[in-house]
Structure 1
């Protein structure tokens, strides 16, 4: 019974957060970007340009243009993701219609680009973090990712770059450039919301001074380290490889520590998902 209520609570929370995300996305579009002829990427960007020429309400356009992608996604990807995306699109399409009569807060193009990008990115990030999506283009990107050598991110970036460039022919090239500013700000906010500001990074360090470096990391960062047995492929010399997991904010300090002992040390860094108490920092006295 408890498990059942917890499941209901979890799903309800996700739905409410997706509604919040859709609301923020709508505000970013209608209060900041659209009044200043700054567009977003994806189907929304296409809808904004079509609406500009036809006067068809943007909320209706975004929903209609996304329908084919819902059908494709339902067949190719699965119902859970597609339904979540459908719900998100419905929510922000309604939100766009609600906020349409409200005049833009600022006519300063740069301020509109920055704050519109921040608010829209925040909203999209919340939606993605809770299992949804805001655009049918992402569904196509996921499908193409399975059939090509390009990643989802690369496909979406190419698609959006084409759309944002097209804005130059519709609203002028200055507006297209401001749209790129808003887009890249939004992307950064999405990254922070989805991955977290304290995103974990796995670091491998290869150095002949691994003992000094290991001790310095434990003393100055308060992180535990693991020594892996390794051997150089060229000379066949045995060496210990340092493995440590740190937060994104600690990367710069970690590099400083390593290269303070060995300027030639090889440091490789990758994003990881972590769990377990052993990851938590030890108190540094």
Structure 2
């Protein structure tokens, strides 16, 4: 059993490293092929690195590349993650940040693919959003505001929405001052597209409420809990209005990416059961989150 567990852990780690490599390639494409030629700023620490890259020549007298700032800004956060969040989380974050910095340096293009800043904003956001969502879906942090968000939530229980908005508003303001206000609006479009793509790919944070009506509650509960770690509430004494037969109602909350496992578990336990799933905005109380 221990050997099997070790095999799956190694396989999972190899998959995460591969995902980090893909993330690095796609971030470099978004930055070097779209955002930089179009004078578009990204969100988060990538946008902050772009800003310092733009300002470095005027302040220092020479240009410091984006990938240098991107890496340096993330180092203290990775150290904080090592101390406060977890060693495995910090290691994979370090790998993702290092590979992204390396790919930004290696994969470059001397000419822009397009001279339309709106296209640069949209496609840069699509590529980077897909890369970030893919990384998060595979349990890899991309550094920057991800780590700050986790640390703030651990310390205060607060979400990072306001901090994210303020941080990104500062980046958009900088884009307007440096390149012109039209580029601030283009950058805002890119940030919006980036966020929507992340939400499309990364479904772990999207919670779904599940209601199941069945006459085999114990079998269904056992099957679901064998497939995933979720608590289930049973409401006894329900009655079908058509045949007036006795039913039980089960309620649970899952992440959106777990809905296929729930469907598989229900088909195994009771193919004739009725199930409805709908998205919920907020939950309070104890909800299990897999370790990072």
Same fold (TM over 0.5): yes
Task: Select which of 91, 96, 99 maps to 1:91.
Answer: 99
- Inter-partner Cα distance in structure 2 for 1:21 and 1:33: 16
TM-score, length-scaled by structure 2? 0.68
- Inter-partner Cα distance in structure 1 for 2:43 and 2:148: 14
Residues 31-180 of structure 1 mapped to structure 2, 5 A cutoff: 31-54=33-56, 55-148=63-156, 150-180=158-188
The Cα RMSD (Å) is: 3.2
Kept in 1: contact 2:16–2:140 (CA 8 A): no
- Inter-partner Cα distance in structure 1 for 2:254 and 2:9: 33
Name the residue aligned to 1:202: 209
Q: Which runs of 5+ in 1 are unaligned?
A: 205-225, 231-239, 246-268
Task: Select which of 192, 196, 210 maps to 1:184.
Answer: 192
CA displacement, residues 55-111 of structure 1 (integer Å, 9 cap, x when unaligned): 211111111121121222222222221221111111111111112344221111111
- Inter-partner Cα distance in structure 2 for 1:6 and 1:271: 23
Kept in 2: contact 1:228–1:243 (CA 8 A): yes
Kept in 2: contact 1:138–1:156 (CA 8 A): no
Residues 1-16 of structure 1 mapped to structure 2, 5 A cutoff: 1-16=3-18
CA displacement, residues 157-201 of structure 1 (integer Å, 9 cap, x when unaligned): 3322332233221222111111111111111111121118xx773
Q: Which runs of 5+ in 2 are unaligned?
A: 57-62, 212-232, 238-246, 273-292
TM-score, length-scaled by structure 1? 0.70
Name the residue aligned to 1:258: none
Task: Select which of 19, 22, 43 maps to 2:21.
Answer: 19
- Inter-partner Cα distance in structure 1 for 2:236 and 2:171: 50
* Residues 241 and 53 of structure 1: CA distance in aligned 2, closer, same or farther (over 3 Å): farther
